[in-house]
């Protein structure tokens, strides 16, 4: 495993526990269901982080189960937007500090709101990217939501 990602440094500093699972990256298939299979977890327990833009609020993120599609209308309503759209892939690194297939909900370069799918609450542990392809972190969803909010508040002060 390579050096700690920004997300992992933030979790360590907050004293939040997590487990890491490595998997082999296939550049031709970065899909979340494939990642779920490679780390031996059900797709509904592995969450992918999507980066979107709302027409009123700007950039936001959604974490949804690997085996689902994002309901854009529901996210727009929940986020106070009339509509939301996926960010073009070419803009993901610039906006988040992470590359496609390795976007973490923790440690983005700017404080974006995160909408974590409500199904996360049925699990004691979910898997999300820690900000690096080939690696997934298993974390309690309540801990994830808490650390994202704390980090957003900290970087919003600058």
- Helix, strand, or coil (residue 56): coil
Decide: 59 and 53 in contact? Cβ < 8 Å.
Answer: yes
Question: To the nearest whole percent, how much of the chain has pLDDT over 90?
Answer: 75
| Contact (Cβ atoms closer than 8 angstroms) between residue 84 and residue 32 | no
pTM (2 decimals)? 0.90
Strands (E), the chain: 19-22, 47-54, 58-65, 84-86, 114-116, 126-128, 135-139
**The predicted structure's pLDDT at residue 136:** 95
How far, in Å, CA of 27 to CA of 158, rounded?
Answer: 36
* Alpha-carbon span 153 to 151, nearest angstrom: 5
Q: Is the pLDDT of residue 117 over 50?
A: yes
The pLDDT confidence band at residue 153, using thresholds 50, 70 and 90, is: low
Pairwise pLDDT comparison (30 vs 9), residue with the higher score: 9
Q: Is 18 left (phi over 0), alpha (psi -120 to 50) or beta?
A: beta
Q: What fold characterizes domain 6-156?
A: YbaK protein (3.90.960)
Q: Which of 27, 18, 71, 63 is nearest to 44 (CA)?
A: 63
Cβ–Cβ under 8 Å, residues 143 and 16? yes
Computed over every residue of the chain, the mean pLDDT equals 91
The C-alpha atoms of residue 37 and residue 151 are separated, in whole angstroms, by 30
Highest mean pLDDT among 3-7, 22-26, 137-141 belongs to 137-141
pLDDT tens digits, one per residue of 72-116? 999 999 999 999 999 999 999 999 999 988 999 998 988 899 999
Band (158; pLDDT cuts 50, 70, 90): very low
């Amino acid at each position: 495993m390579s050096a700690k990602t920004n997300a992992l440094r933030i979790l360590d500093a907050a004293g939040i526990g997590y487990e890491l699972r490595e998997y082999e990256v296939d550049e031709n298939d970065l899909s979340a269901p494939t990642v779920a299979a490679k780390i031996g977890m059900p797709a509904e327990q592995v969450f992918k982080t999507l980066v979107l833009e709302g027409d009123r609020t700007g950039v936001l993120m959604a974490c949804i189960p690997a085996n689902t599609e994002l309901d854009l209308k529901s996210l727009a309503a929940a986020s106070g937007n009339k509509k939301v759209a996926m960010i073009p892939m070419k803009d993901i690194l610039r906006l988040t500090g992470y590359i496609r297939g390795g976007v973490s909900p923790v440690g983005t370069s700017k404080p974006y709101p995160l909408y974590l799918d409500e199904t996360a609450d049925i699990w004691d542990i979910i898997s999300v990217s820690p900000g690096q392809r080939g690696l997934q972190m298993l974390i309690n969803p309540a801990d994830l939501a808490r650390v994202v909010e704390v980090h957003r508040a900290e970087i919003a002060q600058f």
